[in-house]
Amino acid sequence: MIYLDHAATSWPKPPEVLRAMAAFLERAGGNPGRSGHRLSLEAGRIVYDAREAVASLFGAPDPLRVLFTLNATQALNLALSGLLGPGDHVVATGMEHNAVMRPLRHLESGGVRLTVVPCSRDGSLDPGKMTAAIGPSTRLVVMTHASNVTGTILPVSEVARAAHARGALLLVDAAQTAGVLPIDMQSAGIDLLAFTGHKGLQGPPGTGGLILGEGVPASEMAPLVRGGTGSRSEHEIQPEDFPDKFESGTLNGPGIAGLGAGIRWVLDRGIDALRARELELGRALSEGIRNIAGVTVYGPENPEESTSIVSFTAAGHRPSEIGLRLDDEFGILCRVGLHCAPAAHRTIGTFPEGTVRLALGAATERAEVEAAVAAVRKVLRA
């Protein structure tokens, strides 16, 4: 089996991740922040260590402003619904995932004004168009860091400068880049960063988070869920303390333990080293697929302008057919269709059938890339 669906979730997970999750359940199974006994305190320590690991990786100003969620989708919903209300203006790009677009369309129906800035056919974004769309009433700019369809990396720092010049905040969806590309919130000007744990961070499903920069007025931001926090229990109103205001209910302790281990695995190996390896493999995969007759590859030709995703179609073949045959005949696991991002597929011209997406990861080997190229060639010749 050759696993090339890392943009959906990374697999296999590092052994350190599995050990950390088992250790939490075996030796620290208490409820973090809910009791004063040793198991609860140990659980709380593991959770806080994970917050520190997140803050270290992303250059976050304060570990207590790392809010744990179930995934990037929940993090994005927390940010969008917590900050936007009727009359507010929000700007997004034409390459967004439905984790952004569906909450925005819902908010739009309630009076939020939405502007979607079109991107080019390769998924790239002209910062000037984004700047022109941001006005005095813009409250928030939201953008993916890199497309889950084409891998195209968008110009976050340039958009941040434009947003801040007009008093707007920048929310970045880093689902595809956390653990894959270097990210420093402060130097990039990112105000809110949504990430998921189960992709490039090598953590388990059911983990993710939202990081609030120092410029985010958290007192004006509403929580997505209200309830027990283990703090201020004498009150029946939600506390304002960080991170409790935004983390009601029992946290996913084993998952967060695994997430912390995954992030430490990434930090130990170094983002730059991981990126360099994926660039080398991504270049080989992209060139190999592009050289197959009848194939159209979407996204930038330069691998340095994208993550290690190769998204393609082939004349005379449906994406679903290609994906099925790659799995059945060659044991190659990929993803086909719209990838929960119809806006991106409309942008690149592949709606409604979508594409075949081959997505590399930290566990991918060179021989697997070569086997995938050969398999695609055989499928398309048949």
Examine the fold and report which residue of 249, 269, 289 is the final residue of a domain before the chain moves on: 269
Residue 6 clears pLDDT 90, i.e. is over it: yes
To 5 degrees, how large is the angle CA 193–CA 265–CA 364?
A: 95
* Domain shared by 148 and 192, yes or no: yes
> Are 222 and 302 members of one domain?
no
Q: Is the Cβ–Cβ distance between 73 and 100 less than 8 Å? A: no
Indicate whether 263 and 274 sit together in one domain: no
Structure tokens at 33: 């922040």
Say whether both 243 and 316 belong to one domain.
no
Residue for token digits 């813009």? 138
CA–CA dist 226, 216 (Å, integer): 20
The pLDDT of residue 382 is 64
The answer to whether 259 and 48 have CB atoms below 8 angstroms apart is no
Model pLDDT for residues 148-185, shown as the tens digit of each residue: 999 999 999 999 999 999 999 999 999 999 999 999 99
Cβ contact 330:343 at 8 Å: no
Q: Would you name the residues annotated as active-site residues?
A: 340
| Orientation angle between helical segments 319-330 and 366-381, nearest 10 degrees | 120
Q: How confident is the model at residue 356 (pLDDT cuts 50, 70, 90)?
A: very high
**Same domain for 246 and 304:** no
**Predicted pLDDT at 218:** 87
Residue 143 and residue 220 in one domain: yes
Q: How confident is the model at residue 236 (pLDDT cuts 50, 70, 90)?
A: confident
Q: What is the mean pLDDT of the chain?
A: 96
- Return the pLDDT at 260: 98
Amino acid at site 345: H
Measuring CA to CA, how many Å separate 71 from each of 76, 111, 194, 310, 353?
9, 27, 9, 24, 27
Phi, psi of 234 (to 5 degrees): -75, -10
Q: Is residue 63 reached through a cis peptide bond, with omega within 30 degrees of 0 on the bond before it?
A: no
Whether residues 205 and 319 fall in one domain: no
SS3 of residue 144 by DSSP: strand
Looking at the fold, whether 261 and 347 belong to one and the same domain comes out as no
Nearest to 357 by CA among 299, 315, 311: 311
**Can you count the helices (H) and strands (E) in the chain?**
12, 13
Tell me which H or E stretch contains 170.
strand 169-173
Torsion (CA) 76, 77, 80, 86 in degrees, nearest 10: 160
Domain count across the chain: 2
CATH classification at residue 259: 3.40.640.10
pLDDT, tens digit, 9 for 90 and up, residues 41-96 = 999 999 999 999 999 999 998 999 999 999 999 999 999 999 999 999 999 999 99
For 106, half-sphere exposure in the C-beta direction (CA atoms, 13 angstrom radius) is 10
Domain of 302, in residue numbers: 2-10+270-381
Q: Note the pLDDT tens digit of each residue in 266-281.
A: 999 999 999 999 999 9
64 and 209 fall within a common domain: yes
In whole angstroms, give the CA distance from residue 271 to residue 152.
Answer: 18
Opening angle at CA 245, ends 243 and 248, nearest 5 = 95
Q: Measured between alpha carbons, how far is 89 from 72 in angstroms, rounded to an integer?
A: 22
CATH number, domain containing residue 354: 3.90.1150.10
The interaxial angle of helices 38-58 and 15-27, nearest 10 deg, is 150
- Out of 241, 269, 297, a domain closes at 269
Greater pLDDT, 229 or 148? 148
Q: Are residues 83 and 230 in the same domain?
A: yes
**Which of 200, 234, 269 is the last residue before a domain boundary?**
269
Model pTM score:
0.96
- Closest listed residue to residue 206, CA positions, set 196, 215, 214, 216: 196
Are 245 and 323 contained in the same domain? no
Are 257 and 283 found together in one domain?
A: no
E strands of 240-327, at which residues? 295-298, 309-314
Given a cut of 90, is residue 31 above it in pLDDT? no
